[in-house]
Structure 1
Amino acid sequence: MVQVSSGAEKRPLIICKTLLAGGTAGCCAKTVVAPLDRVKILMQGHNKFYKHTGVFKSLTGVYHKEGFIGLYKGNYVQMIRVFPYASIQFMSYEQYRGFLQKVTHHDHKHLVHLMSGSLAGMTAVLATYPLDVMRARIAFQLKGEHIYDGILGTVKTISQQEGKLALFRGIVPTLLGMVPYGGLSFYTFETTKTFLLDRFPDIFGKPCPKNTGGLVLILPAKLLCGSMAGAVAQSIVYPLDVVRRKIQLSTMLCEPDKYKNKSLWTVMKTIYHEHGLKNGLYRGITINYIRVVPMAAVSFSVFETMKQILGLDTGVSR
């Protein structure tokens, strides 16, 4: 099991290093998949130009209509959101896990990973959610049809037209989705990591740089564990992600009253009755696999690597 070293370092320094590692991991991961993220939002919201197109056709469509920069529309807001989000998520996970390990029996390590991941995800969502709403609104716009311009302009427009609470629209399905997503992603990563180092240490492990006698994953193994974490978690919670986007984008859709100020269950039933599972609750799942798998792989890999660089990872003992 990974343990954060204390040594002579004070707790605030360890927390700051963990925040830096998490934020760097999140920004790297989101930048890698930013074009896929943009297209996913357009598809989930059934944008009039992309509601009947596939993943790659949508990508080329955005490129031809808006150029290369169009593929990264809203990404600057994403970076402003992702750094604190990922920082808080990874740091919170380490803190929650450390606390739960002290108050629970050692046989409950799987429960510790699940609970720590869920709590960390919810903590990060609560701290950064308005930025997610703004990013979705900006990314859903097409060239020549802009309603929102810049972060401050978007905040002002949403607050004036819909009220300040609109910045938290869709937070309930987001939090509900984060409970299984955060828990399963961290649980799958940690479980797969431990399995590989226990069963195949010579193939997937290497000596810890801090010379503690422990092992750390090699880069391909980190990517493998991260990929599995993203795929497993996303398969289960994806419908809630679709519901969240519909609620966030409700005022920009053709029939805004259909999703605006409606309950989670009502929105889910509406999507299912009108579009079914494949083209409704799981619309965009293909592109989500294409984006989530590399995103999770990069995120967990960079975080693990940053921990080693910053001296926070002592490795798994033999």
Structure 2
Amino acid sequence: MQSGDPSEQATPGKITIKAPVSASSAAAENVKAFVAGGFGGVCAVSVGHPFDLTKTRLQTAPPGTYTGGLDVVRKTLARDGPTGLYRGVVPPLLGVTPIFALSFWAYDASKRLIRVLTPNRAESALTTGELATAGFLSAIPTTLVTAPVERAKVLLQVQGQAGSGTQYKGVADVIRHLYREGGIRSIYRGTFATLVRDGPGSAAYFAAYEVTKKALTPVNASSSDLNISQVILAGGTAGVAMWAIAIPPDVLKSRLQSAPTGTYSGIVDCARKTIATDGVKALWKGFGPAMARAFPANAATFLGVEASRKLLDGLF
């Protein structure tokens, strides 16, 4: 499997300075990162959506609605059948290609930007801190797509729980309702909370993946020599690293995006009211399902990214 940045295929232990990249080559790398990221996102949603639905319902339901993640699954299956576990899957499937495509493209672009800003580098390979910085920067443009997709997904996921009726017929219906309710501002509710979650989360995500790949790469070998099981391990580790720190802001994001208009004035108000009502432990609701999802979903993500990237490298 091949990593997204050719400059990082140097032999360990040797100082390698990357030659200037032509405009056509840079454009090709951008396309590859974009397409591979989108394919990885489809893999992530296919594997991880039932876990994500369970997490969201735990985070947003009134106290006492569920006893835990397994209770969410049991009640969802009893009410809606197996397809109920994929309620709200359309928004992430529709949005996942641009979200993950933007994320992996922005990550590669951020790594190139860091190199441009540090021209007198002793080595081509970025440090762990620089990889984390690139990961954080990748979340900024991605949030513009992630926030409205997450808003629609959360509203679809929580409808029907605790005996509530079905308000929305699908993602298009959600967007129409939100626009009539409050225009673009309503559609983008929770954008800052999304960035608060995804900035640090993406920093941990990409840095953990790169560090784990480096640790698994044999001496005098390239990361392109990693086998499928090693890519799965690195991808799963990245997911665990991200969600280990992302749950509290994710809880606040889910509550902001699912609550009636006027319930919260922002993420700080949401945090204050959540802690006052349910205690600090409420900020960790959904931790179990999120962590259960983290490894398989993100292993699938990076496996999809690496496999599609290898295919694209063979094409152009």
TM-score, structure 2 as length reference:
0.85
In the aligned structure 2, how far is the partner of 1:47 from the partner of 1:175? Answer: 25
In the aligned structure 1, how far is the partner of 2:23 from the partner of 2:148? Answer: 38
In the aligned structure 1, how far is the partner of 2:4 from the partner of 2:52? Answer: 31
Verify the 8 A CA contact 1:101 1:109 in the aligned structure 2. Answer: no
Which of 9, 26, 34 matches 1:11?
Answer: 26
Q: Kindly provide the amino acid, as one letter, of the partner of residue 264 in structure 1.
A: I
SS of the equivalent of 2:249 reads helix
Partner of 1:82: 96
Show structure 2 runs of 5+ residues with no match: 8-20
Deviates more, 1:289-298 or 1:82-91: 289-298
Distance change >3 Å, CA 37–CA 106, structure 1 → 2: farther
Which of 49, 67, 70 matches 1:56?
Answer: 70
In the aligned structure 1, how far is the partner of 2:100 from the partner of 2:75? Answer: 30
Partner of 2:200: 180
Partner of 1:299: 301
SS of the equivalent of 1:311 reads helix
Partner of 1:169: 189
SS of the equivalent of 2:6 reads coil
In the aligned structure 2, how far is the partner of 1:51 from the partner of 1:182? Answer: 32
Verify the 8 A CA contact 1:226 1:299 in the aligned structure 2. Answer: yes
Q: Deviations over 1:21-70 (max 9, x none)?
A: 1101011111111111112111110157x733211221121011001111
Verify the 8 A CA contact 1:173 1:241 in the aligned structure 2. Answer: yes
Alignment map for 1:102-113 (pairs within 5 Å):
102-104=116-118, 105-106=121-122, 109-113=127-131
In the aligned structure 1, how far is the partner of 2:110 from the partner of 2:168? Answer: 37
Q: Deviations over 1:188-228 (max 9, x none)?
A: 110111121145x7xxx7xx7xxxxx743211111111111
Q: Deviations over 1:236-263 (max 9, x none)?
A: 1210000000000011xxxx65xx3423
- Tell whether 2:177 aligns with 1:157: yes
Identity value in percent: 22
Which of 151, 157, 160 matches 1:139?
Answer: 157
Count of residues in correspondence between the two structures: 294
Verify the 8 A CA contact 1:101 1:112 in the aligned structure 2. Answer: no
Distance change >3 Å, CA 69–CA 52, structure 1 → 2: closer
Deviates more, 1:96-105 or 1:79-88: 96-105
Q: Kindly provide the amino acid, as one letter, of the partner of residue 305 in structure 1.
A: A
In the aligned structure 1, how far is the partner of 2:189 from the partner of 2:42? Answer: 24
Alignment map for 1:115-134 (pairs within 5 Å):
115-134=133-152
SS of the equivalent of 2:225 reads strand
The offset of 1:7, in angstroms, is 8.4
In the aligned structure 2, how far is the partner of 1:270 from the partner of 1:261? Answer: 8
In the aligned structure 2, how far is the partner of 1:15 from the partner of 1:287? Answer: 34
Q: Deviations over 1:1-22 (max 9, x none)?
A: 8633878964333322221111
Distance change >3 Å, CA 128–CA 233, structure 1 → 2: closer
Distance change >3 Å, CA 43–CA 106, structure 1 → 2: farther
Q: Kindly provide the amino acid, as one letter, of the partner of residue 197 in structure 1.
A: T
Deviates more, 1:100-109 or 1:72-81: 100-109
SS of the equivalent of 1:310 reads helix
Partner of 2:238: 229
Distance change >3 Å, CA 245–CA 8, structure 1 → 2: closer
In the aligned structure 2, how far is the partner of 1:275 from the partner of 1:224? Answer: 36
Q: Deviations over 1:80-112 (max 9, x none)?
A: 011110011011111111221232235652222
Q: Deviations over 1:139-179 (max 9, x none)?
A: 11118712122232211111112332011111112112222
Verify the 8 A CA contact 2:147 2:189 in the aligned structure 1. Answer: no
Partner of 2:253: 244
Partner of 1:288: 290
Partner of 2:47: 32
In the aligned structure 1, how far is the partner of 2:90 from the partner of 2:146? Answer: 15
Deviates more, 1:137-146 or 1:27-36: 137-146
Verify the 8 A CA contact 1:89 1:120 in the aligned structure 2. Answer: yes
In the aligned structure 2, how far is the partner of 1:155 from the partner of 1:197? Answer: 46
Q: Kindly provide the amino acid, as one letter, of the partner of residue 117 in structure 1.
A: G
CA RMSD, 1 decimal: 2.5
Deviates more, 1:39-48 or 1:19-28: 39-48
